[in-house]
Chain A
Amino acid sequence: MGGSRYLQQSTLFSQRGLIMTMLIVIDQAPYGSWSGREGLDMAFSLAAFDQSCALLFSGAGVNWLRTGQQPDGLGQKSVEQNLGAAAIFGVEALYADAPACQRYGLADGAIIAGVTLIAPDRAFMAGFEKVTFAG
């Protein structure tokens, strides 16, 4: 849990200079449920229509961010690859619930690149006009 990556909300948004419209929250672990994939589709759709959006992985959802996922045995596509496309599609940020990462044993090196650890508190949520869950 690197302190340097644990950004304060105020710092984050003053640096960015904008408030993002929509935060999509994924709080279910990957592979056992389709709601996370459908949450990702929501984010990609917003981005495709030039709507500002970001993703937050919280609770068991932080497991989406684990490096080295090997879902071949399940016959499912790797969500790690789906997430890799998020920036290309125009999703503005990937956030992870830092306490949940700690709970699920996700140290810095075990998290895919480009993820910002945050505390999902009131101050963080206040940076978004809308917050929604996929299901």
Chain B
Amino acid sequence: MADISLQTYTLVITGAPYSSQAPQTALDFARAAVTAGHRIDRVFLYGDGVHVASALICPPSDEPHWPRLWSEFLAGNQIPAVACIASALRRGLIDSGEQQRYELSAHNIRAPFEIAGLGEWVEAGTCSKVLYFHSGA
């Protein structure tokens, strides 16, 4: 019973917060997995999921703040998280490097999220179990 094989997971979130439950379900899974001793090697935001990395989301005070809850979980467990650069740029999720490159007025990526290419996702697929959290639409 004690010898449950421990897994390494990569989570991919493709649903946006406040329009889908995907970020919430993924966070619930992540918390349960870490509590059970499994490892989450990274979180990858793709498609509409990149909105989880927005530093500008301001939900009403009586609603869960999914981007903040995700940030706190990632920082607390030292889990790297990456938003796909193509998905992010299309949707206005910008880090300081891309702000300079495109000469934009601001950047809005919430720490500890970073922007990177799909290569991160490809690499994850070769070394861990990859779970997808979609919008369900």
Contact = CB atoms under 8 A, between A and B. Distances in A.
Interface of A: 22, 34-35, 38, 41-42, 45-46, 49, 51, 130, 132-135
Given A38-B87, A130-B125, A135-B14, 14 more contacts: A35-B47, A38-B14, A38-B46, A41-B118, A45-B121, A49-B122, A49-B123, A51-B125, A51-B126, A130-B130, A134-B47, A135-B46, A135-B47, A135-B48
Interface of B: 14-15, 46-48, 86-87, 90, 117-119, 121-123, 125-126, 130, 132, 134-135
Given A38-B47, A134-B14, A46 B122 contact: yes
A49 B119 contact: yes
24 contacts: A22-B125, A34-B90, A35-B47, A38-B47, A38-B86, A42-B46, A45-B118, A45-B119, A45-B121, A46-B122, A49-B119, A49-B122, A49-B123, A51-B122, A51-B125, A51-B126, A130-B125, A132-B130, A132-B132, A133-B134, A134-B14, A134-B47, A135-B46, A135-B47
Contacts of A46: 122, 125
Nearest to B49: A135
Contacts of B15: 135
Nearest to A28: B137
Give the interface SS of chain A, mostly helix, strand, loop or mixed. Answer: mixed
Determine the main DSSP class of B at the interface with A.
Answer: helix
Contacts, number: 43
Residue among B15, B118, B119, B135 with the highest chain A CB neighbour number at 10 A: B118
A34 B15 CA distance: 12
